[in-house]
Amino acid sequence: MQLTVWTYEGPPHIGAMRVATAMTGVHYVLHAPQGDTYADLLFTMIERRDKRPPVTYTTFQARDLGTDTAELFQAALAEAYERFKPQALLVGSSCTAELIQDDPGGLAEALGLPVPVIPLELPAYQKKENWGAAETFYRIVRTLAGPRQGQERPKNERPLANLLGPTALGFRHRDDILEITRLLDSMGIGVNVVAPLGASPADIQRIPDADFNVVLYPEHALSTAQWLERAFKQPYTKTVPIGVTATRAFIAEVAQVAGVSADVTERTRLPWYSRSVDSTYLTGKRVFIFGDATHALAAARVASKELGFQVVGLGTYSREFAREIRAAAAEYGVQPLITDDYLEVESAVRDSNPELVLGTQMERHVAKRLGIPCAVISAPVHVQDFPARYSPQMGFEGANVLFDTWVHPLMMGLEEHLLRMFREDFEFQEAPSHLGAAPQAPKEAPVAREAAAATAQAAAVAVAARPAESSGTAAAPVWLADAEAELRKIPFFVRGKAKRNTERYAAEKGISNITVETLYDAKAHFSR
Amino acid sequence: MSIENAVADAGCQDRQVRHERGQRAVFCGLTSIVWLHRKIQDAFFLVVGSRTCAHLIQSAAGVMIFAEPRFGTAIIEERDLAGLADMNEELDRVVNRLLERRPDIRMLFLVASCPSEVIKLDLDRAAQRLSANFAGSVGIFSYSGSGLDTTFTQGEDTCLASLVPVLPEAGRDAPRSLMVVGTLADVVEDQFARLFRDIGLENVHFFPPRDSQHLPPVGENTRFLLAQPFLTETARTLQRRGARHIPAPFPLGEEGTTGWLQAAARTFGVPDERFEAVVAAPRERARRALSAHKAKLEGKSIFFFPDSQLEVPLARFASRELDMTLAEVGTPYLHRQHLAAELDLLHKDVVICEGQDVERQLDRCRQARPDLTVCGLGLANPLEAEGLATKWSIELLFTPIQGYDQAGDLAELFARPLNRRGRLEV
């Protein structure tokens, strides 16, 4: 048993729903108790879809368990087919139905429906959402495109690619497709099928017509792409085009696979914005990164190589891609964090003392609590992560978006400069409103008391997070009056950090009274 | 699958109720944790379930607005399913870890889910076992929030029912007391407490209490008023302990609130003149607050999808106090006895539908094209996209809507979607 409050991924049948909802002309009949229908709101509320997901739940209840839930499943399936007339059906169980072992696949076959029925085996007590999405997509492609194995691929006038991996409820998938389609078009390459997002069963059957596959989201599409390579000799791209350097690498890879020129106009401002004087202040900003593997890996690269940040933490909840994350972490000289326990992530964020967090919705809340700026880079997502504007993460426009969204939570260079100049002015006693996070600096409360409280609180949380270590924490260091006065002279927007660093330094050195000397010793210790 | 039979179900109310079975779009009882944990402030709710349960609570409740909510999930994994003995050890380990982490917890609920019910994990016994370990420091209880047994608000019913056996005994010589049963917002509870005091009732208790150390006494001299219509099991267990139910409408709107308070006042022998004198001013305020919204809502039609069991009292309020017309009143379950006073106030022709077959109900809703549809979160945007104005039924649980001073707020909840449509030019 795993104790959790938050979970990064839902169960695998939610992954299957993400695929089914992304597509057209399919319907998913899910053997599930009432209550599992909550999943509809992920799509209608969080993603603001204007249609219900194409899912029929059997919604069995306790009284049905004594009788025949198998019959209930068959009735629901027959009725769903009659009502929706899909071109293909998916059938499967949620976690509870898995336990009652009704075998939706077998039951569906017995009905003899006139469309392909794809049974999904998604072990709910072993696997999770992204695996469920990948498995579902693979099963669909295998069932619908599989029969064409051994047939010749048609000669295409211009190279054709499939874009694989975007689903419903994905992080900016909708916009990434558009961006990559435009990029490929500028290279003279057409898009054959985008799947699963927007694809019908008929489209899936056409997948083998393309010359190669572009794997946009390996979490969902890698197993399918590997199978397509074996079955149809379709090569697939390994680079995920997030950030300028990866987009360039992607273009080179595509050019080689498709046999076209890699000469593409780079419509991006990121390189110049990064080089502009204002960006000087970005130098070495400490950034903590956590998300799905694809977005976390990309974020680490963009942060360090394109924005000049220092990666101080890198992790993922995608255990399937742990190896890649470990390799990248080694490159940045940090400990990889492979976990789906948000408490571990929270303590890692606190321990690494970052100035910016790039994470999921959960890290956004963790960062908010810790008073650290944050930008969301990956699912799990919330309604604000489906913006009305065009906002891709991939390609050159994606790079522009990354610059804006990651840098805006921070203080801009010019702003920092002006605040320094006018810091004595009463107008600037508060942090600029757009930073959102409350400044950690004390206002009325005496620093000493607040520091003690903050440290006690941090200790309490740390103890809470790791019950094994329990008590034994040294008493919180106390700020002496002169040190407290000195701390107040530090500009408020770095004062919180100075305070935390000093206390951390004092705790590490076993110093109980913080003096002016301690403050400057700590400054020297942490200076970079 | 749907066994749809409009039965001529002639009970004491002599009205037709349509019974429907099919796909249901209703949350399971686990979701009631979201308001229960806010009410009983030193309690923790541990769902023993699957990743789906954890995901449900997170998604349905927008859990991430809480710094560290007082609820969580013990997720059953593959290795737990291998052997049940092992699973009890696992549960003990999780509970120990939790209580170590949260020494402020005084009351812990083990909440059964669909998977734990299907594998017959005995949480009642686990609660007894753990209670012995934590005797004196933490009270450990269990109840079911499983979608196999409960919908949405019924989780509150099973939770409260699990507490009834430990309520202190009020002996035979105890003074007569009133217990208000059902979670109310603190502000509403305080308003009611003042009104009861002013009409002269001295021993008034609220259940659930704000903290676990103040469980109300119960005994033969206890009379209870239901503040929520979904507390079937709780009422039954209270009656088993000698308490007696005061039949009343529910305290929604000016009329419902008056009827509810008056039922208690009469039970306790409060003279009518005194009652009228106390409620006159708040009644007048409620009427004033309603009038502005009524002007916008009268004549508009409203369609209720089944969700919280609040539908019948809400329909009564909408039709009688706002002059709206009722297209259909869906409810997951209709407790005829508890709703008797409400049903008496509803027009005989109102279509009441118990249970659900969501596709057919959607067909009827589209056919009726009501001015306002009250429905769950999963249906709202698709219906809006079809041009129907909607109200999330869950808001009616999370917003204080009971009592005189909330009557206007309740009307405003219905008026807002229409008001918004009136403003938009896009």
Chain segment B214-260, per-residue pLDDT in tens: 999 999 999 999 999 999 999 999 999 999 999 999 999 999 999 99
Q: What is the pLDDT of residue B62?
A: 66
CA–CA distance, A363 with A289 (Å, rounded to integer): 9
State residue B1's pLDDT score: 41
Q: Tell me the chain B residues in contact with residue A388 when contact means C-beta distances shorter than 8 Å.
A: none
CA distance, residue B393 to nearest chain A CA (Å)? 13
| Residue of B1, B63, B87 best to disrupt the A interface, most CBs of A under 10 A | B1
Q: Which chain A residues are Cβ-neighbours of B69 within 8 angstroms?
A: 5
How many CA atoms does the CB half-sphere of A105 hold within 13 Å? 8
Beta-carbon separation of B1 and A62 below 8 A: no
Q: Chain A, 129-158: which have a CB under 8 Å from a chain B CB? A: none
Looking at beta carbons, which residues of chain B come within 8 Å of A72?
1
Contact A44, A21 (CB under 8 A): no
Catalytic residue among A40, A64, A103, A278: A278
Query: Which chain A residue has its CA at the smallest distance from B80's CA?
Result: A1
Residues of chain B with Cβ-Cβ distance to A169 below 8 Å are none
Within 10 angstroms of residue B72's Cβ, the number of other Cβ atoms is: 23
Which are the contacts of A142, defined by CB distance < 8 A and separation ≥ 6? A227
ipTM over 0.85: yes
| Residue B392 forms contact with A (CB below 8 Å) | no
H/E element, A17:
helix A12-22
Phi-psi group of A358: left, alpha or beta (phi > 0 → left; psi -120 to 50 → alpha; rest → beta): beta
Contact B26 A35 (CB under 8 A): yes
Q: What is the pLDDT of residue A438?
A: 44
Which residues on chain B are in Cβ contact (under 8 Å) with A125?
Answer: 50, 76-78, 80-81
Residue A278 annotated to the active site: yes
Q: Which residues of A touch B59 (CB under 8 A)?
A: 10, 38-39, 41-42, 46
Closest residue in B to A31 (Cα) is B23
Cβ within 8 Å, pair A3-B98: yes
Which residue in the set B64, B80, B100 is minimally distant from A361, CB to CB? Answer: B64
Long-range contacts, A459-468 (Cβ 8 Å, 24+): A461/A350, A462/A347, A462/A350, A464/B101, A464/B102, A465/A343, A465/A344, A465/A346, A465/A347, A466/A347, A467/B97, A467/B100, A467/B101
Per-residue pLDDT of chain A (528 residues; tens, 9 = 90+): 988 888 999 999 999 999 999 999 999 999 999 889 999 999 999 999 999 999 999 999 988 887 789 999 999 999 999 999 999 999 999 999 999 989 999 999 999 999 999 999 999 999 999 999 999 999 999 999 999 998 888 888 899 999 999 999 999 999 999 999 999 999 999 999 999 999 999 999 999 999 999 999 999 999 999 999 999 999 999 999 999 999 999 999 999 999 999 999 999 999 999 999 989 989 999 999 999 999 999 999 999 999 999 999 999 999 999 999 999 999 999 999 999 988 899 999 999 989 999 999 989 988 988 889 999 999 998 888 999 999 999 999 999 999 999 998 887 766 666 666 555 555 555 454 444 444 443 333 333 333 333 333 333 333 333 333 333 345 678 999 999 988 888 776 677 778 888 998 999 899 999 999 998 888 888 775
Considering only the beta carbons, identify the residue of B29, B52, B62 that sits closest to A11: B52
Residue pair A46/A169 in contact by the 8 Å Cβ criterion: yes
Asked whether the beta carbons of residue A4 and residue B76 sit closer than 8 angstroms, the reply is no
User: Does A361 reach chain B within 8 Å, measured CB to CB?
Assistant: yes
Size of interface A-B (CB pairs under 8 A): 195
Tokens of B324: 């709206």
pLDDT recorded at residue A5? 81
Q: What is the pTM of this model?
A: 0.88
Q: Which residues pair with A215 in a beta bridge?
A: A164
Beta carbons of B279 and B269 less than 8 angstroms apart: no
β-sheet bridge partners, residue A290: A315
pLDDT for position A411: 73
Q: Please name the residue ranges forming H helices in A302-394.
A: 322-332, 342-352, 361-370
pLDDT of A382: 87
The token pair at A243 is 């950030």
Please report the residues numbered 105 through 124 in chain A whose beta carbons come closer than 8 angstroms to any beta carbon of chain B.
123-124
**Residue among B23, B115, B146 whose CB faces A76 most closely:** B23
Interface of B with A in 340-379 (CB under 8 A): 359, 376-379
CA-nearest residue to A34 within chain B is B147
Contact across the interface for B114 and A96, Cβ inside 8 Å:
yes
CA dist B399 and B410 (Å) reads 8
Q: Which tokens sit at A183?
A: 């990029």
pLDDT of residue A413: 67
CB B411 within 8 A of CB B293: yes
Out of A38, A44, A72, closest to residue B380 by CB: A44
Walking along chain B (426 residues) 10 residues at a time, the average pLDDT comes out as 42 75 93 91 95 91 65 92 82 93 93 95 95 90 95 96 96 95 96 97 95 94 97 98 98 98 97 97 96 95 97 98 97 95 93 95 97 96 97 91 96 96 92
Minimal-distance CA residue of chain B relative to A101: B118
A264: number of CA atoms within 13 Å, CB side? Answer: 27
Minimal CA separation from B375 to chain A, in Å: 12
Chain A, residues 26-55, CB within 8 A of chain B, namely: 33-42, 44-46, 48-52
Report the pLDDT value the prediction gives residue A468, as an integer from 0 to 100. Answer: 35
Q: Which residue among A4, A33, A44 sits closest to B54, beta carbon to beta carbon?
A: A4
pLDDT of residue A487: 87
pLDDT tens, residue by residue, B285-326: 999 999 999 999 999 999 999 999 999 999 999 999 999 999
Contacting residues for B9 by C-beta, under 8 A, at least 6 apart: B15, B16, B17, B19
Q: Is A96 within 8 Å of B377 when comparing Cβ atoms?
A: no
B73 close to A (CB below 8 A): yes
